[in-house]
DNA sequence: CTGAAAGCGCTAACAC
DNA sequence: GTGTTAGCGCTTTCAG
C-alpha cells in the first residue's frame, strides 16, 4: 500500500531530473537555474537562454515539494465540499477555481461526504500539506476540527452559511430568511394549506430554511399542515416519491415546499405525470435557483443564490488576506425569490 | 500574489509546531515521535502514550511536505477532469475517490476546462508535487503533455475512451460503438428520417459517437437527414433550442439523436412543451444513462455507461501498479442500450 | 550577475 | 526500544 521509493539504479526507469543535474548540464550553479526558473534576481540573457534550453531538453519539472519546504509556503488553497454530486457545490467550486485562476494559487479539492469525522480527517490531511488557505462549506464542525482550523495560522473561510462567530471568515446566505421568503410568497399568492417534503440532507442548511419557513407562516397565523421527512440525502427521486406520499396523506394541501430545487423538480415531475395541475391544484417551491429548474416545462419558483459568487468571494477573501488586506469577517450574499410557473 | 513566509517572531501568530518541538516536549528523539506517528518500528507502550499526549496537546499536524521530500514519495494521486459542471465527470470522480478511500491514497483534483493548454499547465503543476499516479479524462493531449506524462515515471491512466496506444493505461468505452448502438436501435424501432443536434463539446467523444452513429445508419442505406451543430459545450438549454430549430428546418424527421442525456432532456422538454408527442411523432436518443433521464415524465432512451465504475477501475489500476502488479494496459468498459419511452 | 553554505521538517539507515 | 547521522531538492542569505 505504501509507495516504495524507486531506487536510482540503472535497471529502473530514471527519476525525474533535479535542479542539480540541470545545473551541471548547463554548467552553472543550482542557484542560477533556480533564478531563471522563478524569474527572480538577475541573470544574463545568455545564461538564461542556455539554462532554459537545458531545462526544456531534459524535460525538467521543478520539485515543488522541495521548494515548498524551503520557503515554508505553497500556492495551494485547500477547499472542502460535502459532495460533488450536488450541483450547488460544483458551482461554488467553479467560482473558487475561476477566481484562483486569476492568481498564482491552485485549489486542492476534498470531499467530506457530509460527514464530520471525514471532514476532520480531511482537514488534517490537507493541512499536513501546508496550504496557504482553507475553505470549507459549512459551519458545523467537530470541536477538534474547529480547533485545528483555528490553530492552522492560515486564512480560513466557511462558506454557504452565515454566523456571527466564524472560525475566521464566512461567506454565506441567511437560510432562515430564504425559508421565510418562500413562505411569504406562498401566502401572498393565496396559498393557505401548506406542506413540506424534507430530505434530511445532513448539512443542516435545509433545516434552517424550514425553520424560517415555518416561523414565517406562524407569524401569519398559519402552520405547516403536513410534513414528510426522509432521513437521506436530497434527490429528485425522493422528491417525486415524497410529494406523492404527502398528497396522499394530506389531500387538501395546496402548496408544497421542498428543501431544494432538485427535490422540487422531482415533485413537479410527479404532478405532471399524475395530472395534477400546477399551480392551480398544487403550488411548488424550491431553493437554489438551479438552471434546470428554469428549463422545466413549468419553470420552478425558487429562491436564487449566487453560488458561483460565493465561491469567487471566498477565494478572493483568502487571497486578499494573504496579500495583507483585512477583509470583513462576516459576508452575507443576497438571495432573491424567483417566481416561476409553479406558484 | 506570492505568499509571504510568516516570520517566527513573537508578534506573529506562531507557526505550526515541528517534530523537533514535539520531541523536545516529550523528552524523546525526533525519530521516536516519527515512529509513533507513522506506527512504524517498535516503541514501548509507555513512551508511545507520552508522545501521543504531547502531540494531541500541541495540536501537532505533521508536515507532509517534509515527509514527502524525505521519502521521495507521496500518497497523492492526481486526477484531471475537463469540468465539474458535467455530471459524468463528477460521477467518475466519485468512483475514483471511493476506491482510493479504501487505500491510503488521496485524490488531488484538477479542472482542465476542456482546454489542452490548460491541461498541459495542470499536468505540469500537479506533477511538480510528485504524486504517485496520474489519471486524466481523455486521450487527446498536446504533444508536450504526452511527453511529460510518459516521462513522469509514475502510472498514468487515461479514462473515458479507448485506444490501442495509451500513454500507459486506459479505461474507457468504445464511443463509436455507443453511437452505433443507438443507430441500430432507431432502425430496429422503425425510424428512418433521422436527425442530430450536436454540441461541439470539445472533448471529441461526442464526435466519435456521431461518427459511429452515422456509419451504422449508412450500413443500412440510411443517412443523417438533418444536423445542427453548436460550437459550445453541451447543455440542456442548447438541446431545447436545438431540436426546435432542427425540426423547423427538417419537419419530416421522426427521430433525433443527441450527444448526451442532458442535451436530450432539453430536447424532450421542448417536445413536451410544444405538444409534440413522444415517441410517436419524434423519437429521442441520448447517451450516458444519467439517473435524471430515467426520472423524466417519459424516461429517456439512452446508452448507459458505468461512470462510477470507470473511476473505480482507473484508481484500482494505479494502486495495483504501485503495488507491483501488472494490470492490463487497455481496459474496455461495457455499455448497454436502455430503452425508455422516447423511442 | 553568479556562487557557496546552511537549512526547511522529516525519514532511511545505521548504531547502540 | 531508542538515538544519531545524513540527506531528500530546493531557496535564502550572504559573499564575491
Residue A10 has a pLDDT of 33
Closest chain A C-alpha to B183 CA, distance in angstroms = 28
DSSP string of B63-114, one letter each residue: -HHHHHHHHT--SEEEEEES-SSSHHHHHHHHHHHHHHTTSS-EEEEEE-TT
Question: What part of B 141-170 touches A (C-beta under 8 Å)?
Answer: 147-148, 151-153
Question: What part of B 164-223 touches A (C-beta under 8 Å)?
Answer: none
Residue B301 has a pLDDT of 98
Closest chain B C-alpha to A217 CA, distance in angstroms = 32
Q: Is strand D in 7 Å reach of the CB of A19?
A: yes
Q: CA-CA distance, A198 to A202, in Å (whole number)?
A: 11
When pLDDT is averaged across residues B15-30 and rounded to a whole number, the result is 94
A27, A69: one domain: yes
| Maximal CA-CA distance, chain A | 86
When pLDDT is averaged across residues B162-170 and rounded to a whole number, the result is 95
Q: Is strand D in 7 Å reach of the CB of A47?
A: no
Q: CA-CA distance, A97 to A95, in Å (whole number)?
A: 6
Asked if the bond preceding A279 is cis, omega within 30° of 0, the reply is yes
Q: pLDDT, tens digit, for every residue of B84-122?
A: 999 999 999 999 999 999 999 999 999 999 899 999 999
Q: Which of B13, B61, B121, B167 to mutate to test the interface with A (most CBs of A within 10 A)?
A: B61
Compute the half-sphere exposure of residue B59: CA atoms within 13 Å on the CB side of its CA.
16
Closest CA to the C1' of D2: that residue is B32
Closest CA to A148 of A197, A80, A52: A80
Residues of A with Cβ-Cβ distance to B80 under 8 angstroms: none
A251, A116: one domain: no
CA dist A95 → A258, A306, A316, B187, B259 (Å)? 25, 10, 10, 44, 27
| A9 is a domain residue | no
pLDDT band at B61; cut points 50, 70, 90: very high
Q: CA-CA distance, A134 to A170, in Å (whole number)?
A: 11
| B206 is a domain residue | yes
A5 in contact with chain B, both atoms CB, cutoff 8 A = yes
Residue A11 has a pLDDT of 36
- From the CA of A71 to the C1' of C6: give the distance in Å: 14
Q: CA-CA distance, A332 to A170, in Å (whole number)?
A: 8
Q: Is strand C in 7 Å reach of the CB of B37?
A: yes
B116, B87: one domain: yes
Q: CA-CA distance, B16 to B59, in Å (whole number)?
A: 9
Q: Nine-digit cell at A228?
A: 414528510
A42, A140: one domain: yes
Strand order in the sheet with B283-285: B224-230, B194-199, B255-257, B283-285
Asked if the bond preceding B279 is cis, omega within 30° of 0, the reply is yes
B273 to chain A: nearest residue by CA?
Answer: A297
| A326 is a domain residue | yes
**Residue entry with cell 498536446:** B142
A168, A180: one domain: no
Per the prediction, chain B carries an average pLDDT of 93
B152, B182: one domain: no
Q: Is strand D in 7 Å reach of the CB of A69?
A: yes
The answer to whether A51 and A22 are in contact (CB under 8 A) is: yes
Asked if the bond preceding B87 is cis, omega within 30° of 0, the reply is no
B286, B226: one domain: yes
Residues of A with Cβ-Cβ distance to B72 under 8 angstroms: 5-6, 15
| A139 is a domain residue | yes
DSSP-derived 3-state class of residue A157: strand
Q: Is strand D in 7 Å reach of the CB of A63?
A: yes
- The total number of structural domains that make up chain B: 2
B11 has a pLDDT exceeding 60: no
Give the residue numbers spanning the domain of B226: 175-305
Element holding B302 (H helix, E strand): strand B302-305
Q: Is strand C in 7 Å reach of the CB of B272?
A: no
Q: Nine-digit cell at A240?
A: 417525486
Interface A-B: count of C-beta contacts within 8 A? 147
Question: Which residues on neighbouring strands pair with residue A80, listed in sequence order?
Answer: A110, A136
Q: Which of B2, B41, B91, B97 to mutate to test the interface with A (most CBs of A within 10 A)?
A: B2
Q: Do A297 and B272 touch (CB under 8 A)?
A: yes
| B10 is a domain residue | no
B313, B169: one domain: yes
The answer to whether B233 and B202 are in contact (CB under 8 A) is: yes
| A54 is a domain residue | yes
Q: Nine-digit cell at B255?
A: 427521430
B271, B206: one domain: yes
Question: Which residues on neighbouring strands pair with residue A135, listed in sequence order?
Answer: A79, A157
Q: pLDDT, tens digit, for every residue of B195-219?
A: 999 977 666 899 999 999 999 999 9
- From the CA of B39 to the C1' of C9: give the distance in Å: 18
B44 in contact with chain A, both atoms CB, cutoff 8 A = no
DSSP string of B103-163, one letter each residue: SS-EEEEEE-TT-HHHHHHHHHHHHTT--SEEEES-S---HHHHHHHHHT-S-EEEEEE--
Residue A202 has a pLDDT of 65
> In chain B, which residues from 44 to 103 place their CB closer than 7 Å to nucleic acid strand D?
44, 46-48, 66, 69-70, 72
pTM of the model: 0.91
A214, A328: one domain: no
B136 has a pLDDT exceeding 90: yes
Q: Is strand C in 7 Å reach of the CB of B327?
A: no
Closest CA to A127 of B64, B220, B5: B64
A131, A42: one domain: yes
Q: pLDDT, tens digit, for every residue of A200-241?
A: 766 689 999 999 999 999 999 999 999 999 988 778 999 999
- The runs of H, that is alpha helices, within A101-235 are 116-127, 143-151, 175-188, 205-219
Q: Do A297 and B273 touch (CB under 8 A)?
A: yes
Residues of A with Cβ-Cβ distance to B87 under 8 angstroms: 85
Residue A203 has a pLDDT of 65
A74, A100: one domain: yes
Q: Chain C: nucleotides under 7 Å from a protein CB?
A: 1-5, 7-13
B120 in contact with chain A, both atoms CB, cutoff 8 A = no
CATH of residue A312's domain is: 3.40.50.2300
Closest CA to the C1' of D7: that residue is B70
Residue A3 has a pLDDT of 40
Residue B14 has a pLDDT of 63
| B340 is a domain residue | no
Nearest 5°: phi and psi at B61?
A: -115, 115
| A140 is a domain residue | yes
Digit-by-digit pLDDT tens for chain A (343 residues) are 334 333 333 334 467 899 999 999 999 999 999 999 999 988 999 999 999 999 999 999 999 999 999 999 999 999 999 999 999 999 999 999 999 999 999 999 999 998 999 999 999 999 999 999 999 998 999 999 999 999 999 999 999 999 999 999 999 999 999 999 999 999 999 999 999 999 776 668 999 999 999 999 999 999 999 999 998 877 899 999 999 999 999 999 999 999 999 999 999 999 999 999 999 999 999 999 999 999 998 999 999 999 999 999 999 999 999 999 999 999 999 999 999 999 9
Amino acid at each position: 500500500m505504501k509507495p516504495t521509493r524507486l531506487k536510482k539504479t540503472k535497471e529502473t526507469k530514471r527519476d525525474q531530473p533535479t535542479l542539480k543535474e540541470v545545473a551541471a548540464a548547463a554548467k552553472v550553479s543550482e542557484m542560477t537555474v533556480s533564478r531563471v526558473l522563478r524569474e527572480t534576481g538577475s541573470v544574463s540573457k545568455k545564461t538564461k537562454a542556455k539554462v532554459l534550453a537545458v531545462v526544456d531538453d531534459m524535460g525538467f519539472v521543478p520539485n515543488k515539494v522541495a521548494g515548498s519546504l524551503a520557503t515554508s509556503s505553497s500556492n495551494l488553497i485547500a477547499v472542502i465540499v460535502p459532495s460533488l454530486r450536488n450541483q450547488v457545490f460544483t458551482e461554488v467550486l467553479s467560482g473558487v477555481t475561476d477566481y484562483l485562476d486569476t492568481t498564482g494559487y491552485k485549489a486542492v479539492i476534498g470531499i467530506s461526504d457530509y460527514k464530520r469525522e471525514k471532514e476532520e480527517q480531511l482537514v488534517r490531511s490537507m493541512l499536513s500539506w501546508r496550504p496557504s488557505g482553507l475553505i470549507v462549506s459549512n459551519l458545523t464542525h467537530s470541536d477538534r476540527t474547529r480547533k485545528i482550523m483555528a490553530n492552522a495560522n492560515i486564512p480560513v473561510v466557511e462558506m454557504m452559511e452565515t454566523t456571527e462567530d466564524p472560525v475566521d471568515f464566512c461567506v454565506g446566505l441567511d437560510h432562515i430568511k430564504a425559508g421565510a421568503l418562500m413562505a411569504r410568497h406562498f401566502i401572498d399568492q393565496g396559498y393557505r394549506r401548506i406542506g413540506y417534503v424534507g430530505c434530511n440532507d445532513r448539512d443542516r442548511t435545509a433545516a434552517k430554511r424550514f425553520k424560517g419557513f415555518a416561523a414565517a407562516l406562524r407569524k401569519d397565523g398559519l402552520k405547516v399542515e403536513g410534513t414528510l421527512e426522509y432521513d437521506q440525502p436530497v434527490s429528485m427521486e425522493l422528491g417525486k416519491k415524497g410529494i406523492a406520499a404527502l398528497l396522499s396523506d394530506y389531500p387538501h394541501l395546496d402548496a408544497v415546499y421542498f428543501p431544494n430545487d432538485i427535490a422540487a423538480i422531482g415533485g413537479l415531475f410527479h404532478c405532471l405525470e399524475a395530472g395534477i395541475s400546477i399551480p392551480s391544484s398544487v403550488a411548488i417551491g424550491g431553493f437554489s435557483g438551479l438552471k434546470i429548474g428554469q428549463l422545466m416545462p413549468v419553470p420552478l419558483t425558487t429562491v436564487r443564490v449566487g453560488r458561483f459568487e460565493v465561491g469567487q468571494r471566498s477565494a478572493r477573501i483568502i487571497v486578499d488576506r494573504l496579500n495583507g488586506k483585512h477583509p470583513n469577517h462576516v459576508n452575507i450574499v443576497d438571495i432573491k425569490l424567483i417566481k416561476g410557473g409553479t406558484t
